[in-house]
Structure 1
Amino acid sequence: MAVRENEGIKGNRFVVTGGLGFVGSALCLELLKRGAAEVRSVDTRAYSPWYQHLQKNGVRCIRVREFYTGDVTQKKDMEKALQGVNCVFHLASYGMSSKEMLQTGLIEEVNLNGTCNVLDVCHEIGIRRFVYVSTYNVVFGGKEIINGNESLPYYPIDEHIDPYGRSMSTAEQLVLKSNGRPSDIQVNKKQSDVHLHTCAIRPAAIYGPGEERYFARILSLGQIGLLFVRVGDASVKTDWVYVDNLVQALILASVGLLDDISGREGNPIAAGQAYFISDGSPVNTFDSIISPLFKSLDYNVPKLTIHVRLALILSQIFWFISMLFYPFLNQPWVPGPLLLPAEVYKVCSIVAAAFAIDFTMITRIGVTHYFSHLKATEELGYVPMVSPHEGLNRTISYWKDRKQKEINRPNILFWIFCIGGMLALFYTAFLTPCGPLRWLNSLSLFLFRSVFNLRLVFYIAAALHISEAIYIWLLARRKDPANAPGWFLQTFLLGYPSTKLFLKKFH
């Protein structure tokens, strides 16, 4: 495909729905870098770590605080947001992980109705190009797939195990069937037939510096020693894609929808097509990604493995508990479920936690499945710019640098011992023993001989915690001012373990 560099980008205007996310923000910045006249990020989230950076670099961020919102479920808002643009990248979706997966109504509202709204507006106002970000799960249903391609049929809609996969599959089919849809907009007297050209990109699991959905929680749990079990067969292999490679593929897809390139006028090569996108190197997630990350950060690498059946049983229990809080799932005080059945099926050789789990980063457990990007290479010119080795090194460097900027957390056992010990001392020294905790009072008196001694020990321990907290706070104001309040609070709660971590980190 002979096209000039930045064909269809330079001087054009773009909308990226879900533009405040990990991939969306990277796409917005790359479009501007390549000469786009305007890039609009359409998103509803109230907070994004990339918001300030995007605004600083010239991206127009349309959010709920503006006179109209970035909500794809509101068609009138999309009519305003999409005015005057040449191409739409539709990345906005909902329900991929955690408690979001339980909200079937909202999932369908965003993924189906939202996609319909954006497609309808594109048709009504004469937008020519529409690139949709889909998922592997539109064709994958739990059976082994080795080097699969786009000729595979869609997985039956009624057999999807979660509403997210079902809605994304339906939305992708809707997008591709909308290809070639004529518009009522008349460009000029000689050309009255404006058509919407669409395509779908099916990315593998996405990684890279700044990725928050997969690695952030897993690494935070690993830091405090809560991740000690892996789930799934070590022989299972799946695809991953580095964020820059995915952004490259999305831009190439938009170029592939151009209908005014010499030799293919009115017949864009990518129109109505779907493409699998990956780094082209299927790996075992735990051995090739999680384990190197843990080792580079000096975290203990999980060695135990639990069987899939046990994980499924636990997931059913957690699902039942979460559904008891269904009316309050959107509230921040309601934690996400530890594990859901759909997430178990979507897990492939990853780490499990004893008290908190996030399995969204992967696909089906115990089943090798990966796909070829040959079609994208032949039709779009896609060749991964960043190798898996380089991508992993960049990701590791990001997390090592981030670790240096954040507060080090002691092992969970220190939290339990220190905070639990202080609470037990306070209870036995100052409160009247009652109920099932009478044994604690008896044990404390046996060890310390009198209430006076208990109170004395509590006062000494509290004084040590306070003095250590003040000492570390004073040091942190010089060594780590951004985290000084956090160091103070952690040392106040834990005392010596936190002090030791600070002194070790800053020598």
Structure 2
Amino acid sequence: MRVLIVGGGGYIGFHIGLELASRQHEVTLFDLHPPNPVWYDKSETCPLPFVTGSILCLPDLEQVLSLSKAEGVIHCAAHGMSSREQLPSASSLTESINIDGTSLLLKVCSGPSSSVTSLVYTSTFNVVFGCDEIIGGDENLPYFPLHRHWDNYSISKSVAERLVLASSGKNKKFHTCSLRLAGVMGVGETRHLPRIVASLPFLKFRYGNAKVQFVGIKNAVQAHVKALEKLHDDPDVVGGEAYFISDGKPIEHWEYFRPLIEGLGYTYPKWVLPVGLMWIFVLLGQFFLRVFGEIWGAGRGLFLSPAELLKTSVTHWFSIDKAKQHFGYAPEDVNDLSGVLHEYRRKMGLSPLLKFRKNDT
């Protein structure tokens, strides 16, 4: 299959591309910026064909679809996922990329001159989670009300997912599905893990005991590849459907990171602050960034946004049975941060660990 990955310069998109290429698919990456060289041998050029362009530019999309002759598309381009990107000042860009960009991509892919038959959309737990506890939820849950979300990222991803699923089957040849991912972790991840590791020297307390889910990069990749292949071969089963994707085993948020904290030589915090007090800190931090951002250093970003506080302090986890049944999703190395720990010990000049404390909570 010829596959175009929109957002292929990002962590998830690039690794999906590598796996698809290893399975003999023809892959083209499309993004504003090429993949980070840390994800491949720095002495080499990007191992996959890469085309520079914007999801907001119709000529760019038409050109890359024409050049790639794509039959399948994986859409993982997004903005506004974390930190200061969730501030209201960034809302217009978030909405443009996540909603307008998705709408434009769907228009081009489903057009009469397009060769695309299958599109897999990278979505998020946030489309159904906002602030209410969810235990063992499934795909029958309704979308979380847009007006109750704390961030434009969640709002825009919810709107975009509905556009994607509504477009499935509108013409006989074009079908879509959506993968709702938990937080993605893995070696080389550059959005969340660097912030977490940088905060460890100052980590003297924790908060809450929420049970949540994460997904390792290998499992996120596996889900996309299997979903795309199934959608291409059997659209009657997968077309128009949404799926929760995670490692499958709920774990307390802090316990998930405990092997990393202790493995890097830091003390696991024993003090537990009330979540209400954390809300005061987070809202004050957001206020100072809004008012004094340019002076105070908006480039530093927020340690936690309100949406991130909710994600880490309110229990929410979902069944992955539907993905298992429909396209054979089978997570491996569940809740495993051993590779990440090895990566950061090497960066910090520490010797490799002979034993690793595994997440078995």
TM-score normalised over the length of structure 2: 0.88
Q: Which residue of 1 aligns with 2:358?
A: none
8 Å contact 1:150–1:275 — kept in the other structure?
A: yes
Q: How does 1:208-287 map to 2 (within 5 A)?
A: 208-222=186-200, 225-233=201-209, 236-258=210-232, 261=233, 267-287=235-255
Over residues 420-440 of structure 1, what are the superposed CA-to-partner deviations in whole Å (9 max), with x where a residue is unaligned? xxxxxxxxxxxxxxxxxxxxx
Q: What CA distance in whole angstroms lies between the structure 1 residues aligned with 2:150 and 2:116?
A: 35
Pair 201,47 (structure 1): closer, same or farther in 2 beyond 3 Å: closer
Q: What CA distance in whole angstroms lies between the structure 2 residues aligned with 1:379 and 1:151?
A: 15
Q: What CA distance in whole angstroms lies between the structure 2 residues aligned with 1:115 and 1:53?
A: 32
| 1:217, distance to aligned residue in structure 2 (A) | 2.0
Letter in 2 for 1:253: A
Pair 282,115 (structure 1): closer, same or farther in 2 beyond 3 Å: same
Larger radius of gyration: 1
Q: What CA distance in whole angstroms lies between the structure 2 residues aligned with 1:380 and 1:217?
A: 34
8 Å contact 2:168–2:176 — kept in the other structure?
A: yes
Over residues 314-351 of structure 1, what are the superposed CA-to-partner deviations in whole Å (9 max), with x where a residue is unaligned? 2222222222357x69xx973313443233222x2xxx
Are residue 76 (structure 1) and residue 45 (structure 2) matched? no
User: Which range moves more in the overlay, 103-112 or 249-258?
Assistant: 249-258
SS of match in other structure, 1:118:
helix
Q: Which residue of 2 aligns with 1:431?
A: none
| 1:33, distance to aligned residue in structure 2 (A) | 0.7
| 1:26, distance to aligned residue in structure 2 (A) | 1.0
Pair 202,86 (structure 1): closer, same or farther in 2 beyond 3 Å: same
Are residue 337 (structure 1) and residue 282 (structure 2) matched? no
8 Å contact 1:29–1:57 — kept in the other structure?
A: no
Q: Which residue of 2 aligns with 1:155?
A: 144
Q: What CA distance in whole angstroms lies between the structure 1 residues aligned with 2:174 and 2:80?
A: 28
Q: What CA distance in whole angstroms lies between the structure 2 residues aligned with 1:51 and 1:379?
A: 31
Residue 71 of structure 2, aligned match among 67, 73, 86 = 86
Q: Which residue of 2 aligns with 1:473?
A: none
Q: Which residue of 2 aligns with 1:306?
A: 273
8 Å contact 1:208–1:242 — kept in the other structure?
A: yes
8 Å contact 2:14–2:35 — kept in the other structure?
A: no
| 1:405, distance to aligned residue in structure 2 (A) | 8.1
8 Å contact 1:89–1:132 — kept in the other structure?
A: yes
| 1:274, distance to aligned residue in structure 2 (A) | 0.3
Letter in 2 for 1:72: I
Residue 19 of structure 2, aligned match among 19, 27, 30 = 30
Pair 338,387 (structure 1): closer, same or farther in 2 beyond 3 Å: closer
SS of match in other structure, 1:14:
strand
Letter in 2 for 1:211: E
Q: What CA distance in whole angstroms lies between the structure 2 residues aligned with 1:53 and 1:120?
A: 36
Letter in 2 for 1:317: L
Q: What CA distance in whole angstroms lies between the structure 1 residues aligned with 2:320 and 2:46?
A: 32
Pair 338,246 (structure 1): closer, same or farther in 2 beyond 3 Å: closer
Letter in 2 for 1:197: H
Are residue 13 (structure 1) and residue 2 (structure 2) matched? yes
Q: Which residue of 2 aligns with 1:113?
A: 100
Over residues 67-110 of structure 1, what are the superposed CA-to-partner deviations in whole Å (9 max), with x where a residue is unaligned? xx2x1111221111122111110001000111111211001000
Q: What CA distance in whole angstroms lies between the structure 1 residues aligned with 2:225 and 2:282?
A: 39
Q: Which runs of 5+ in 1 are unaligned?
A: 1-11, 64-68, 183-193, 349-364, 407-507
Letter in 2 for 1:369: H
| 1:28, distance to aligned residue in structure 2 (A) | 0.9
Pair 57,386 (structure 1): closer, same or farther in 2 beyond 3 Å: farther
Q: Which residue of 2 aligns with 1:96?
A: 81
Runs of 4+ more than 6 Å apart: none
Q: Which residue of 1 aligns with 2:323?
A: 376
Residue 181 of structure 1, aligned match among 167, 170, 185 = 170
Are residue 316 (structure 1) and residue 308 (structure 2) matched? no
Pair 144,151 (structure 1): closer, same or farther in 2 beyond 3 Å: same
Over residues 166-217 of structure 1, what are the superposed CA-to-partner deviations in whole Å (9 max), with x where a residue is unaligned? 10000001100000122xxxxxxxxxxx521000001111111112222212
| 1:58, distance to aligned residue in structure 2 (A) | 3.3
SS of match in other structure, 1:404:
coil
Q: Which runs of 5+ in 2 are unaligned?
A: 352-361
TM-score normalised over the length of structure 1: 0.64
| 1:397, distance to aligned residue in structure 2 (A) | 2.2
SS of match in other structure, 2:242:
strand
SS of match in other structure, 1:334:
helix
| 1:246, distance to aligned residue in structure 2 (A) | 1.2
Q: Which residue of 2 aligns with 1:393?
A: 338
Letter in 2 for 1:293: L
Pair 25,217 (structure 1): closer, same or farther in 2 beyond 3 Å: same
Aligned length: 343
Residue 36 of structure 2, aligned match among 48, 56, 61 = 48
Q: What CA distance in whole angstroms lies between the structure 2 residues aligned with 1:51 and 1:281?
A: 27
Q: What CA distance in whole angstroms lies between the structure 1 residues aligned with 2:216 and 2:303?
A: 27
Q: What CA distance in whole angstroms lies between the structure 1 residues aligned with 2:138 and 2:257?
A: 27
Q: How does 1:133-152 map to 2 (within 5 A)?
A: 133-152=122-141
